[in-house]
Chains A and B, each alone.
Chain A
Amino acid sequence: MNDVVDKNIQLENNNKQLFNICLRTSSLKNPGSIKTYQSIGGYEQIKRILKNNIDPQQLIDEIKISGLRGRGGAGFPTGVKWSFMPRDYDGTKYIVCNSDEGEPGTFKDRDIIRYNPHQLIEGMIIGAYIMNAQVGFNYIHGEIWEEYVSFEKAIEDARKAGFLGNNILGSGFDFELHAVHGYGAYICGEETALIESIEGKKGQPRYKPPFPATYGIYGKPTNVNNTETYASIPWIIEHGGQEFMNHGVPNSGGTKIFSVSGHVEKPGNYEIQLGMPFRQLLAEAGGVWKNRRLKAVIPGGPSTPVVPANIIMDATLDYDGLAQIGSSVGAGSMIVMDESTCMVQALRRLSYFFYEESCGQCTPCREGTGWVYRIVDRIFKGQATLADLDLLTDVSKKISGRTICALGDAAATPVLSFIKHFRSEFENFIKHGKSLN
């Protein structure tokens, strides 16, 4: 009883809205142009910082107050991460923007690059100033080629306007930014694989420690952040950390883009104030398509556990809200599945993805992901026995925590969560040799 009352109060007090910070130019004419960005006060923050020689520590403190957490999936506090970079290191330091989004259901960074590239660039310049880095790279997913080309142009425009290069705006501060592209390897989104890729190698993750802040590109101190993380920075510096924090809820400051795909009427990117109830976002996305009923949602991309409809319906979208229901924000890649979805088929496709994309360095991941895929495939083809379900769980648990990078854990997550919540559907499929959906 008390639970119900509490929930109602929580929903009543909740007045979260869609609110564009990273996508704030998207409704304007020529959203991606430098002119449009400057018309809303773009590049004023870096000008102010350079003119007044603002103490980097003061800026880091502001970012800490904002509560901004890494938007690439792990949710690590950005202000804290930036303070790890050795400021007094003698020699080149690098910052990298990770636009390699390739986790199924993730497509937010593409829209930042398309519609608001200059806010990202300004965020990177501010980051470079704070961490005292001289060179930056934006590593862009190879499949979104048109965005790679348009970002190269945005860099050129920023350089012509005097925001990149040597002695920026006469301040004595130098920062050069380059766009680079991947070519079809999901693993390069992992930050140390990305660094290997920038060095011109296969994208195989490195052992950590040493972390990139001490040993990154060419062995130099390097910081990697997600596109959305960087794009949030100019707004935070302009409005103050507290204002950003206020848009979200405690422990989940600010806004976050949710990329909603799958069975909704209006798939797309929705930048929400963190803490918004799930049902509100679902309504914004037009609801479940074809007037069907909701079956399940993967809230933050396949590396976050799937949640059945009845549980997610009462959840709020923020780091704690999703943790409470056993899932997480991840990259905000929300995959919506209606009542017609066959969970065996869905898991089969996800398992194939991790098998295909494993870089092959660690035996548990290389062999385990193949095993997992073959077992789910066997179920899907009506050739499995009930014992296979336990085998599947067992193999997945043996991948988790025994690998160099988090792809291994990510591969186990869908398996364990699908079976946890939809075990009877898997059992029925095995017993009848087909979907009963």
Chain B
Amino acid sequence: MNLKLKKLIDKELKKYPSDKKQSAVIAALAIMQNDRGWLSKEDISEVALYLDMPEIAVLEVATFYNMFDLKSVGKYKLSICTNISCMLRQADHIVNHLKEKLQIDFNEVTKDGKFCLKESECMGACGGAPLLTVNNQKMHENLNIDKVDQLLKELK
């Protein structure tokens, strides 16, 4: 864990009493994952050490919350919602298009290591259905086939 990451985690720690470091575990794991793309066993250990937590408690959190990845998800993880509001706005067309174009199924990574496709639950933005996020942070709404093609082009 480099100094930059430590600083980011320290900022999160300030939100909690000094004897409650564990409270920052979700934020710390998110910061690590952002930096590395996914969480390895070593990353989990580092977070445990930094927050004075048993490794198993950190692992529990990393496996409970769906946005954490314990395996490589390529350079760009595309998480697409298929829940009811998106389903009603034909998210299945977008999913099929992506699967065909990228030649992968859900939870697979393209051969060049660039894209991974994840099926996701409701993201709380159903007015913009269908929608997806890139690497947990950037949301793209009101998708259609053209927009998806454009997006894939932009993700270098």
A16 to B: closest C-beta gap in Å: 21
Let me know if B49 is at the binding interface, CB within 8 A. no
A405 to B: closest C-beta gap in Å: 15
**Known contacts A110-B124, A261-B129; 13 further A-B pairs (Cβ under 8 A):** A105-B126, A142-B67, A183-B65, A183-B67, A183-B68, A197-B26, A200-B23, A200-B25, A260-B127, A261-B126, A267-B126, A341-B88, A346-B84
B interface residues, Cβ below 8 angstroms from A: 15, 17, 20-27, 29-30, 51, 53, 57, 60-61, 64-68, 79, 82-85, 87-89, 120-129, 133, 136-139
**For chain A, which range describes its interface: under 10, 10 to 19, 20 to 34, or 35 or more residues?**
35 or more
Which of A107, A180, A345 contacts B124 (CB under 8 A)? A107
**A184 x B66 contact (CB < 8 A):** yes
**A182 x B65 contact (CB < 8 A):** yes
A146-B137, A261-B129, A353-B83 given; A184·B67 CB < 8 A: yes
A97 to B: closest C-beta gap in Å: 14
Bound CA span A143–B84, Å? 17
Bound CA span A436–B79, Å? 32
Let me know if A42 is at the binding interface, CB within 8 A. no
**A107 x B88 contact (CB < 8 A):** no
Q: Hey, what's the 0/1 contact readout for A213-239 against B, CB within 8 Å counting as 1?
A: 000001000000000000000000000
A142-B67, A183-B26, A202-B61 given; A109·B84 CB < 8 A: no
**B26 x A146 contact (CB < 8 A):** no
| Chain A residues with CB under 8 A of B126 | 104-107, 259, 261, 267, 333
Total A-B residue contacts, Cβ distance less than 8 Å: 154
A184-B67, A200-B22, A349-B83 given; A335·B124 CB < 8 A: no
**B65 x A350 contact (CB < 8 A):** no
**B124 x A145 contact (CB < 8 A):** no
Q: Which residue of B lies closest to A189 (CB)?
A: B124
B44 to A: closest C-beta gap in Å: 14
- Which A82-110 residues have C-beta < 8 A from chain B? 92, 101-107, 109-110
Q: List 21 A-B contacts (CB under 8 A).
A: A92-B17, A107-B126, A141-B123, A142-B136, A143-B67, A144-B124, A181-B27, A183-B26, A183-B66, A199-B22, A200-B22, A200-B25, A200-B51, A200-B57, A202-B60, A259-B127, A262-B85, A267-B129, A302-B84, A335-B84, A346-B84
**A181 x B121 contact (CB < 8 A):** no
Q: Which residue of B lies closest to A176 (CB)?
A: B15
Q: Hey, what's the 0/1 contact readout for A341-363 against B, CB within 8 Å counting as 1?
A: 10001100110010011000000
Q: Which residue of A lies closest to B58 (CB)?
A: A200
**A186 x B87 contact (CB < 8 A):** no
Bound CA span A336–B85, Å? 9
| Chain A residues with CB under 8 A of B124 | 101-102, 106-107, 109-110, 141, 143-144
Q: Which residue of A lies closest to B65 (CB)?
A: A183
| Chain B residues with CB under 8 A of A184 | 65-68, 120-121
Q: Hey, what's the 0/1 contact readout for A297-337 against B, CB within 8 Å counting as 1?
A: 00000100000000000000000000000000000010111
**B121 x A357 contact (CB < 8 A):** yes
| Chain B residues with CB under 8 A of A269 | 127
A125 to B: closest C-beta gap in Å: 17
| Chain A residues with CB under 8 A of B29 | 183
| Chain B residues with CB under 8 A of A201 | 22, 57, 60-61
Bound CA span A403–B60, Å? 22
| Chain B residues with CB under 8 A of A48 | none
Bound CA span A218–B18, Å? 13
Bound CA span A185–B7, Å? 26
B113 to A: closest C-beta gap in Å: 23
| Chain A residues with CB under 8 A of B85 | 104-105, 261-262, 267, 335
**B20 x A199 contact (CB < 8 A):** yes
A309 to B: closest C-beta gap in Å: 15
Bound CA span A186–B120, Å? 11
Let me know if A275 is at the binding interface, CB within 8 A. no
Bound CA span A349–B86, Å? 11
Let me know if A240 is at the binding interface, CB within 8 A. no
Let me know if A421 is at the binding interface, CB within 8 A. no
**A110 x B125 contact (CB < 8 A):** yes
Let me know if A7 is at the binding interface, CB within 8 A. no
A142-B136, A183-B66 given; A104·B84 CB < 8 A: yes
